A and B are shown apart, each in its own frame.
Chain A
Amino acid sequence: MKETLKTKTLSTDGMARFFTILPKETHIDFLRLRKVMATISAILSLIGLIAFAMIWLGQAKLGLEFTGGTALTVELNPPVAIDAARAALAKGGFGDAQLQDIRGTNQLAIRTKTVRDTEEEAQEQLLQLLRREFPDRTIALIGSDFISATVGRELRDKAIWAALFTTLGLLAYIAFRFDFKFGVATAITVFHDILVVLGIVWLMGMEITLLVITALLTLAGYSLTDTVVIFDRIRENLRKHQREPLMKIINDSINQVLSRTLMTSLTTLLAVAVLYLFGGPVLRDFSFVLILGVIFGTYSSIYISCPLLLLGRRRGLTAQVKQ
């Protein structure tokens, strides 16, 4: 995309000069690539479906809040090699503990799904174990979380309910807002976005935490908006140019609102990218999911939702927008 500055003389209003990242009028044939894109999206969605099944079966890397267990972050001064810490914990009966260095600090994140006889024990034992094994280090507790198996199950149920109600709520809105064919296309697009992002998250081995689920649900709402912008224009043009081929109308519509689609995505992307880079470790996965969401939400509003309108007979579309 070349940066151009377009000037146009208007008879009534002097000069209207806009700074754009796109040429004033684009005529990109987006639909030409529809089969390639459909294939890519189908594969990505399939991965998403597999990820969904794995999560459902408990095979995915679920966050502590869903499985129950103990996590703590400690600061060791001077730092300890992660292998030494792992060996020390294994000696104390925490062989299942996962350890992770926190970049740029002397901090160590430890998590274990072992729930001991009493709730406080795992955390207390881990701390004492570290103090015993590394007596020459100062060990400070930065933070810790304990979640019982019961609460884990409850949070999992709550997350499922939240996902279900978000889906129902958005579907209800789509049904209220759109005619049948546009509505179905929008719904498919939203599901596509969630599945694709979920698939990528799963492939990357990212932990499915409450925050990740929250981000996924947030992006569902966002993805819908992107599609709405283009669909509104297609409906407008279907009414205006009833003789033109559907393919041309859709392509023109995408081109007409292209700068809008890109600009809204860019501003949001800018914000979530900053969050990813500067928001600290707690929000990193969350903002990563949102970044993916913005990218795929934009992609799908062009390459998924629009080609879906081509399926079936045109009359279904035009009849709907006529009233």
Chain B
Amino acid sequence: MKPELFWNLGRLAVVLGTLIVAVLFIYTPWHTPETPRECMIEEIRLGLDLCGGVMLTLEVQMDPEKIVTPEERQRTMERVLSVLERRINALGLTEPQIAQAGDTRISVQLPGTTDPTQARQLVGGTALLEFRKVVRVGTPGETPITEELDEEVLRSHLCDRPGSSPAECVQYVVKKEPLMTGDILSRAEVRINPTPGQGGGAILVALTLNEAGARQFRDVILTLRAGQDPMAIILDRVVYSAPVIEKSLQDEARRRAAISEAVITGQFTPEEARLLAAILSAGALPAEISIEQESIVGPTLGRDSIEKGLMASWIAGAAVILFMIFYYRLSGFVATFTLLLNLVVLLGILAGFKATLTLPGIAGIILLVGMGVDSNVLIFERMREELRLGKVTRSAIDAGYQRALATIWDSHVTTLITSLILFIFGTGPIRGFATTLSVGVIVNLFTVLLGTRLIFEFVKMRKAERLSI
């Protein structure tokens, strides 16, 4: 075998191999059906700006007096992360992502949801559960005042419900000192009140108390006057319910050493109850959290972006291909082949590395369509020049390739410098742009050096008299 043929078969094998691997990454035939498909096009993961969802950046507010050393800070971060994870997982969303992003930052991505209130409540409260004695229950719409130093006024959770009128809002005067706090809790779950009659079928949040908590709860029940004193169940300074202790419960407390169950009857909607149970079960956060950045993309906006992005990609691809074929004739097909190879390998790498495709990422691909063929233009123009000088096809191809190479390297290295820096400093969608651009530039170098070269090598081997360029 001639060495030339040997090398060309090698090139062909590499190009075909890469192509097959890339296609398999994009259309994985063995993919597991349980992975949610909404946020994917084949095996390519889409960013929240394309598939819709809520993205949050949270700042953990650490008390500089209590949390001093870096180890303590990191421990706090880990606890915050695990509490948030438990809360979010309890809601059963598809593929939520929670990750530490920087020293005191956490990024949360909730694909599929567009209700910001749920997400905010999920991360908003520290989930400090308290049981406090109620001094006075205000009439609906009234804002009670208290002058006692050990009392304060808190609102019912119904006051902040969307669509509720201020006239329905009930406020409570409660003691500042809690009777019990959330460390007594072992579990919280949603239940339907089984008793027929009034309150039957209502949605409840049932609390299961731990051993110490159950004993404490018994003692607290005995200090209250049955049928008279309401006890407020408060989460993050909002009153969820303020039941009056019934005589039967007090009798039971007298007979037994511990009461291990309590229910919150707060006129809940199913979503509210589910959220409350999730927050209570996950436990309290060790630090306050603030929302620093929030981005909500509704499903229409996401779909619109995908449609526009894909359409622009097709049109840009078609326009560039037609232009190349119109101008460079058969060689234009070489450029087209390179371009398609480029795209398939790029998408394959995105799928294989589970990179996220964002709208700016699609823009990056379109930009690459335009810049990618430039390498071919440089080669073709040089070949034309060599042909004009009277060189034979073979040497025109070689010279065209060799002389254009330096410039091709230049253009790729400079684009790579920019895109890598954008990748390092970029966040969110911008990083998607940097990803497609930097991966695309490397892939383009590969396809030009191997793909385009390969075709011209075969043209050379056919000993073509003429080059359609």
Chain A interface (Cβ within 8 Å of chain B)? 8, 10-16, 18-21, 24, 73, 75, 119-120, 123-124, 128, 140-148, 150-151, 155, 158-159, 161-162, 165-166, 169-170, 173, 177, 210-211, 214, 217-218, 220-222, 224-225, 228-229, 232, 256-257, 259-260, 263-264, 266-272, 274-275, 277-280, 282-283, 286-287, 290
The residues of B that contact A151 with a CB separation of less than 8 Å are: 57, 292-293
Q: Are B298 and A278 in contact (CB under 8 A)?
A: no
Q: Given A146-B293, A264-B378, A274-B366, is A279 in contact with B417 using a C-beta cutoff of 8 Å?
A: no
Q: Given A123-B116, A155-B427, is A271 in contact with B301 using a C-beta cutoff of 8 Å?
A: no
Q: Are B370 and A267 in contact (CB under 8 A)?
A: yes
The residues of A that contact B393 with a CB separation of less than 8 Å are: 13
The residues of A that contact B384 with a CB separation of less than 8 Å are: 16, 18
Q: Given A141-B296, A222-B371, A278-B308, is A217 in contact with B421 using a C-beta cutoff of 8 Å?
A: yes
A214 to B49, CA, bound (A): 17
Q: What is the minimal beta-carbon distance from B317 to any residue of chain A, in angstroms?
A: 9
> A218: which of B292, B315, B323, B437 is its contact (CB, 8 Å)?
B437
Q: Are B430 and A211 in contact (CB under 8 A)?
A: yes
Q: Are B114 and A141 in contact (CB under 8 A)?
A: yes
Q: Are A225 and B120 in contact (CB under 8 A)?
A: no
The residues of A that contact B294 with a CB separation of less than 8 Å are: 119-120, 123, 144-146
A221 to B363, CA, bound (A): 16
Q: What is the minimal beta-carbon distance from B343 to any residue of chain A, in angstroms?
A: 13
The residues of B that contact A11 with a CB separation of less than 8 Å are: 390
Q: Are B298 and A224 in contact (CB under 8 A)?
A: no
A271 to B365, CA, bound (A): 10
B75 interface residue (CB < 8 Å to A): no
Q: Which residues in window 300-322 of B have CB below 8 A to A?
A: 300-301, 304-305, 308-309, 311-312, 315-316, 319-320
The residues of B that contact A141 with a CB separation of less than 8 Å are: 114, 116, 296, 298
Q: Are A260 and B377 in contact (CB under 8 A)?
A: yes
B143 interface residue (CB < 8 Å to A): no
Q: Given A13-B465, A145-B295, A275-B363, is A280 in contact with B305 using a C-beta cutoff of 8 Å?
A: yes
Chain B interface (Cβ within 8 Å of chain A)? 49, 57, 59, 114, 116-117, 120, 124, 162, 290-298, 300-301, 304-305, 308-309, 311-312, 315-316, 319-320, 323-324, 326-329, 359-360, 362-363, 366-367, 369-371, 373-374, 377-378, 381-382, 384-385, 387-388, 390-393, 406-407, 410-411, 413-415, 417-419, 421-422, 424-427, 430, 433, 437, 465-467, 469
The residues of B that contact A144 with a CB separation of less than 8 Å are: 116, 294-296
> B417: which of A140, A221, A286 is its contact (CB, 8 Å)?
A221
A20 to B430, CA, bound (A): 38
A161 to B296, CA, bound (A): 27
10 sampled A-B residue pairs with Cβ under 8 A = A8-B388, A16-B387, A21-B327, A73-B301, A123-B116, A124-B116, A165-B424, A166-B422, A218-B419, A260-B378
> B421: which of A8, A123, A166 is its contact (CB, 8 Å)?
A166
Closest to A70 in B: B294
Please give 9 more A-B residue pairs, beta carbons under 8 A apart, in addition to A214-B422, A267-B370: A19-B326, A124-B117, A158-B426, A173-B417, A177-B410, A225-B414, A259-B381, A271-B320, A278-B315
A266 to B297, CA, bound (A): 35
Closest to B114 in A: A141
The residues of B that contact A24 with a CB separation of less than 8 Å are: 388
Q: What is the minimal beta-carbon distance from A251 to any residue of chain B, in angstroms?
A: 17
Closest to A214 in B: B430
Q: Are A269 and B370 in contact (CB under 8 A)?
A: yes
Q: What is the minimal beta-carbon distance from A223 to any residue of chain B, in angstroms?
A: 9
> Which 6 A-B residue pairs are closest in the complex by CB-CB distance?
A271-B370, A280-B308, A268-B370, A225-B411, A162-B425, A221-B418
Q: Are B391 and A13 in contact (CB under 8 A)?
A: yes
